[in-house]
Structure 1
Amino acid sequence: MPSGIEGLPDLERDQAAGYAAHALGDMLGYKQTRKDKGLRTILVQAFQLFAAHGASRKLDVASLIELIANEDPALVATLGRLDTRLFKDLVHDLEVLKLNTSDLLSMDGEALDVELLLGLGRHSQPGKTRLSIVSTKFLGDSARVLFWVAQLLLALSRWVSRAPSPHLRAVVLLDEADMYLPAQSQPATKAPMENLLRRARSGGLGVLLATQSPGDLDYRCRDNLRSWFVGRVTQQTALDKMKPLLSDARVDVSARIPGQEAGEFHLLQDGRVTAFKRDVPLLRAEQVPENEILKLARRRPRDAAR
C-alpha cells in the first residue's frame, strides 16, 4: 500500500487499501464467482485493518497469512456472517503465491518512492530534470505487471493528495495504456488509474496515456482527459469506438484520420481541432537488449544524473 496511507481520511484510506487488495486478488487468479468474491472480501478487510492501525508498512505476505490463519478477532468481526472456512483456502492460495512470487513481493527490495522517480523533494538537483524509465518486461506475465503498475498508480495518487500544487511539477507517460484502462474488463489498474486521472491535475502532475489500440481504451474517462493527440487510425472498429470523442470536436476529422502520414496528428482539445506534424524527436526510439537494460538499472542515481 502507498506510503502515508494512515494519514488519509477514513474513506480514502479504505479505498486505497481496497485497490491494493483487489490487485493482490487478481494475482491470485480470483474471478467473480461467489467463492472468489468471498475470498476477495477477506483480503480487502485484512488490508483495511493494517491501514487503520498504522501498520501498512509492515504488511507483507507472511504477515497477511498470519493474520488470516490465526483468524484474528478484529478481522472475523468485520466479516460478520461470512463463512470463516474460506480462511483456510485463502491461506493456502497466499502460501503458493509467496513461493512463486518471492522476487516481486519481497520486502527486501527497493521501496517505491515517487519523489525519487520524479527527482523531487530531497532527491531534486538544481537545474536538472530527472527522467526515469520503468521497464516491466522482467516482471513476467500480465497479472504481475498489472499488480506492480497498480501499486505505482496508488503511490502517485497518494503523492498528489499529500502535496497539491497549482503548477505542473512532473509528467508521467504510460505506454500501452489500453492494458491498464481497457473498455471491456476491470484489471487491478483500472480503478487506481481512474482515481489518478481525477486527482492528478490538482497535484501538478501531468498524465500522458499512449496506445496503438485506441479502440480498446475506455473512452468513458474522457471527461478527465483534456487533450487528445490522434494519429493515423485505419481500423473501422477503432474509429467507430472513437465516435463519442470525435463528436465533441467542432470540425469533423473522422475522414482525415485514416489518411494521416507517420508523425501527423490532430490535437482535440475542448472542442478545438488543430492539425500538426511532429518535429524530429529528441530521443531515439530503439529496442535495448535486456542485458543493457539491467546494466543501466544497476547504475547508482548519482551516476545516472551526471
Structure 2
Amino acid sequence: MTTLALACYESFRPWCDAEARARGLDPEVYDRELLREYSKKLRQYNLDLINVKEFSENIRVKIYTPRSNLGIPLSISPSFDPPYNYDTLLKEDPSSAYELLESTALSILRLIGYSEKRRRELALLSSIINEKWARGEGISIEQLIEEVRNPSISKMGSLNIDEFISSKERRKLARDLNLLISYPSFKAWFFGEKLDMDRLFEPKTISVIDLRWIPTESEKHFFVGILLNCLYSWMLKKEGTNRLKYLLVFDEVIGYVPPVQAPPSKRALLMLIKQARAFGLGIILATQNPVDVDYKVLSNAANRFIGRLATKQDIAKVRSGLELDNSGGILAKLKTLEFLYHNYDEGKTVLIRPRWLLTYHRGALTADEIKLVCAKYKREIKLPEYKPPRDTEVKQKTYIPLGRYDILSVKSSTVSRWIANVEEIVVADIPPIGKIEKKLKRKIRVVIHPLVPDYMVIFIDEKPFKVTKKKELTRSVIRKLLEDIVLEKIVYSDVVKIASVSPDNEKELAEKVKEKILLKMEKELRRLESRINHYKYNVIPRKNMIISELAKLEKEIERIEEKIGKRGRRRRLSLIEHKGYSRKYLLELKKHRRTLKRKLAQILEAEEMVSRYPILADNIRRKYEPYLKRPLNYIFIRPIFKMNNIKFEKGKGSLMKVSRHGLKSTVFIEKKRGYIYAGRCIVCGIPVVTGSRRIPLCSECFSPVCDNHTISCYICGETVCKMHAYKCSECGKTTCRDCCVEKRFLFKKKYVCLNCIEKLTK
C-alpha cells in the first residue's frame, strides 16, 4: 500500500536502487529498463507516462505511522469524545450504540493487558463512559482513572458498586490505567497529528496508515479498534447517499475479524460493514485465508475477487466458504494479474484482468524511504525521547501523636537517616502528674514507703516503672517517664519511599507497599521486554542485510585495490579515476565498511541480550523478592522533651500521701515543725501552712494558693489560681482551661464553658 506514493514518470531512482543491487545490476541500467517496461505495459491500456505525471501532480499520498515519527505521526487523543447524537442513537438503535460503547471499553482494557473475560472491569468502564456520553461529554484518561477509584455511580444493576467490584480490584484497575499516561511506551500514542477523519478523507488524497511500526499485536488491535470507532462516529454525521464517496481498504484482514474471538477491531469493523454503504463508504478487505474470516463479513460481501490458488485443499476451503459454483475449478489455472470475480447476489462469475499500475509495484517502503516520501507533508511533531519513568517519592504528612495531648514540646529527635517530615508541635509547660495522668489516659501512681521516706516507686498502669530517690522527682524522672510512654515507631520502605509514624493499620500499609513494589517490578520487566522487542523486531532482522552488504563491499574494495596496484602511473591512473576507481573513492568505501562492522557488532550484542532475556528477567524478580517478603522497615524514636518552669520546694522532710474530702495528693512534710508546708501563695505571697488535708495547688502552674485565693472549676473540680481561672461569657461561672473554649471577637477574647457550648449547639 505504501508504494502508492511512488508515481515515477522520469526516473525510478532512488526507489529501485535496493532491488537493482539485490539482482546484481547497476541502478542506472535497471532504472532505464523499468522505464521501458512500464511505458510498454501502460501503452497496452491506452496510457503512458504522462498519465503517471498527472497522477503524481494531482493526487497526494500521505503515509501515517502510529507510534513512530518515520512518516506522519498519528496520535490517539487521550480523551474519548461521544459519538454524534449518541442519545438519539441509544434510543433508535441501542444495539449499535452498545456495541460501540463496549468496543471502546474493550480497546482500553486490551491495551493494558486485560482480556474480554474480565467482565466486571469491562462493565464498569462501559457504565462510566456511557454516563458521560449520555450527557454529551467526553472523558479523558485522567477522569476515567478517578471515576474508577471513586465512581460516581452507586449501583451496577441491582448490586451496590462495592458488592459488584471491590475497592481493591478498582484500585488495581486504576493503577493499570494510570500506565497509559505515565509509562513511556503508552505515552507514545498521544504524540502526533490528531485522529481526524476529515483530514484523512480529504479530496484527492490517499491516506495510508502503516501498522508495521506498532510493536505488538494487542496494540495493533487497539489502534484499529479506535480508528474504526472514530470512522463510525464520523460517518454518522454524514447524510445518507447512494453514491460511493469514500473507500476504506484493509490489506490483510486476518486476525482482525476472526470467526471465534472478538478483538476490539472486530466489533467496529462489523458495524461499518453493516451500515457504511448507506453513507457512501465502500469497504475492500483483502486476505490470503478467507476461511479465517468471520462468516458475518463474508455474508455481507456481495463482490468477491479471488486470485490463483495452488493446492486442492485451499480451493476446496474457498469454494465451501464463499459458496462458489462449479467455476471454482479454474482457480488453479489463473495466471499472474488474473482474478475470478464472483457476485453472490446475482450468482455470476467472470474472469477479469486489471490494468497495469500507474505507481511503482514493489515491496513495502523501508523506514528511510518513508521519511523521504513524507518530508513534504510532515509537520514538525517530535516524539519525546525514551526516558525510564522516575519513581515519584510518596510524601506522607505525619505527626507525632503527642500533639493530641497538648502537654509538652519536642526539643529534638535523633534518627540515623531522614524518613519523613514531622510537624513541629508547640505546647504548654508540663503539668503535675495528675494532669499527665488525665491527658495521657494512663494511670500513674507514686508510692513512698513510710520506713524509707527518701525513696519512692512509680507505677504506670499498675506496673512498677522505676524506683528512685525523691531528689530526682523534679526533672529526670518525669522526663524519662514521658519519653518511655510516647516512644514512637516509624515504619518505612526503601523501595517506594513511603513512611508513617505509629500507623494504626500497619497490615494494610504493608499490603499497599507490596502492591507498589509489585508495580515497580512490573514496570522494570516491561522496560526490559520493550527493549528486547526493539532488538528482536527492529535491530536483529537487519543482520543478514548488513552481512551481505559487507561481503559485497569487501569484494568491491579488493577489486579496486587490485586495479590501483596494477595500473600505477599517469595515463592509466587517469583512466582509473575516470572509471571511479580513485583513491578517494576507496577511502569512502573503507569508511563505510567500518560503519557496517560497528553496526554488526551492535546487532551481535543485541542478539546476546535477547538470548539472556530469561536470566535478566529472573535477576529483576530476585532483586525485589526480599522486599516482597519484608515490605516494611522499622525505626524507633525516643523524643527528648524540654522541661520548663517546674519548681519544687526543697527542705528536710519526707513526701507523704494525704487526703482531703476523699482526694489524695502527695505533699512535702517538714520534720522540724511537724506541719505541712507547701510554699507561698502565688497571689498574696503568704506562707501556705496546713494540717492533714489536701494542699491547694494550681493545676496549670503547679503553684500553691491560700484558702482566700483558691478557685475551683465548677465542671471538673480542679483547683486553679486567679491567673488561670476563666469566666464563661454565657453563664458567668469559673472554669479551668480544659473545660472552656476560646472565642475571638473584634477587640478581645472570650471564653465559653463546655456545658454552654453543648446548649448552644443543640
State the secondary structure of the residue aligned to 1:196: helix
Deviation sequence 1:157-206 (CA, Å, 0-9, x none) = 22322212221111110111112212232111111111000111101011
Determine if the alignment matches structure 1 residue 16 to structure 2 residue 93. Answer: no
Q: Residues 40 and 297 from structure 1, CA distance in 2 versus in 1: closer, same or farther, beyond 3 angstroms?
A: farther
Q: Distance in 1 between matches of 2:250 and 2:350?
A: 24
Separation in 1, partners of 2:281, 2:207 = 15
Quote how far apart the aligned CAs of 1:301 are. Answer: 7.6
Q: Which residue of 1 aligns with 2:213?
A: 138
Unaligned runs of 5+ in 2: 1-78, 380-762
Aligned alpha-carbon RMSD (Å): 2.4
Q: Secondary structure at the match of 1:73?
A: coil
Q: CA deviation at 1:299?
A: 3.6
Does the 8 Å contact 1:2/1:154 carry over to 2?
A: no
1:178 maps to 254
Aligned equivalent of 2:85:
7
Paired residue for 1:233, among 303, 306, 309? 309
3-state SS in 2 of match to 1:178: coil
Q: Confirm or deny: 8 A CA contact 1:246 1:252 kept in the other structure.
A: no
Q: TM-score, with normalisation over the residues of structure 2?
A: 0.35
SS in 1 for 2:328: coil
Corresponding position: 1:26 with 2:110: yes
Structure 2 counterpart of 1:66: 146
Q: Of residues 263, 266, 275 in structure 2, which corresponds to 1:190?
A: 266
The structure-2 alpha-carbon separation of the partners of 1:131 and 1:242, relative to structure 1 and needing over 3 Å to count, comes to same
CA deviation profile, 1:45-66 (whole Å, cap 9, x unmatched): 222222122222xx33222111
Match of 1:48 in 2: 130
| CA deviation after TM superposition for structure 1 residue 130, in Å | 1.2
Q: CA deviation at 1:253?
A: 2.3
Paired residue secondary structure (2:315) = helix
**SS in structure 2 at match of 1:101:** helix
Any idea what the Cα deviations from partners look like across 1:221-243, whole Å, max 9, x if unmatched?
Answer: 22211200000123455434323
- The answer to whether residue 235 in structure 2 is matched with residue 160 in structure 1 is yes
Q: What corresponds to 1:102 in structure 2?
A: 187
Larger RCO (CA within 8 A; separation ≥ 6): 1
Identity of aligned residues (%): 21
1:32 deviation in Å?
A: 4.8
The alignment partner of 1:268 has SS state of strand
Contact 1:216–1:238, Cα closer than 8 Å, also in 2 = no
Q: Find the counterpart in structure 1 of residue 481 from structure 2.
A: none
Q: Which amino acid aligns with 2:244?
A: L
Give the greater-gyration-radius structure (CA): 2
**Pairing 1:276-295 to 2, within 5 Å after superposition:** 276-286=352-362, 287-295=364-372
Q: Which residue of 199, 203, 227 corresponds with 1:116? A: 199
- Which TM-score applies when normalising by structure 1? 0.83
- Contact kept, 8 Å, 1:160 with 1:199, in 2: the verdict is no
285 and 47 in structure 1: CA distance in 2 versus 1, 3 angstrom threshold = farther
1:268-293 CA distances to partner (integer Å, 9 max, x unpaired)? 11211001122212222332111332
Secondary structure in 2 matching 1:242: helix
Q: Does 1:252 align with 2:326?
A: yes
Task: Tell me by how many angstroms 1:297 deviates.
Answer: 4.0
* Structure 1, gaps ≥5 residues long: none
- Asked if 1 retains the 8 angstrom alpha-carbon contact of 2:84 and 2:233, the reply is no
Aligned position for 1:90: 173
> 1:152 offset after TM fit, Å?
1.5
- CA change 1:289–1:37 in 2 (3 A) is same
Q: 1:191 to 1:236 in 2, by over 3 A?
A: farther
Distance in structure 2 (CA, Å) of the matches to 1:184 and 1:261 = 34
1: CA distance, partners of 2:314 / 2:80: 35
Question: Is the helix fraction higher in 1 or 2?
Answer: 1
CA distance in 2, matches of 1:62, 1:297: 33
- The structural deviation recorded for 1:103 is 0.9
Residue pair 2:100, 2:267 contacting (<8 A) in 1 also: no
Q: Is the 8 A contact 1:2 1:151 kept in 2?
A: no
More displaced stretch, 18-27 vs 88-97 = 88-97
**Aligned-partner SS, 1:5:** coil
Indicate the SS of the match to 1:207: strand
Q: Greater strand percent: which structure? A: 2
Task: Classify 1:235/1:87 alpha carbon distance in 2 versus 1 (closer, same or farther; 3 Å).
Answer: farther
Partner amino acid for 2:145?
I
Is the CA contact (8 Å cut-off) linking 1:168 and 1:204 kept in structure 2? yes
Q: How many residues matched? A: 284
Is 1:300 aligned to 2:377, yes or no? yes
1:99-154 per-residue CA deviation (whole Å, 9 max, x = no partner) reads: 131111x2x542211121111xxxx4xxxx21111111222211111111111211
Distance 1:217 1:283, change over 3 A: farther
* Compared CA separation, residues 4 and 90, structure 1 to 2 (3 A): closer
Q: What's the offset of the Cα at 1:84?
A: 2.7
Per the alignment, do residues 61 and 253 of structure 1 end up closer, same or farther by CA in structure 2, a change over 3 Å counting?
same
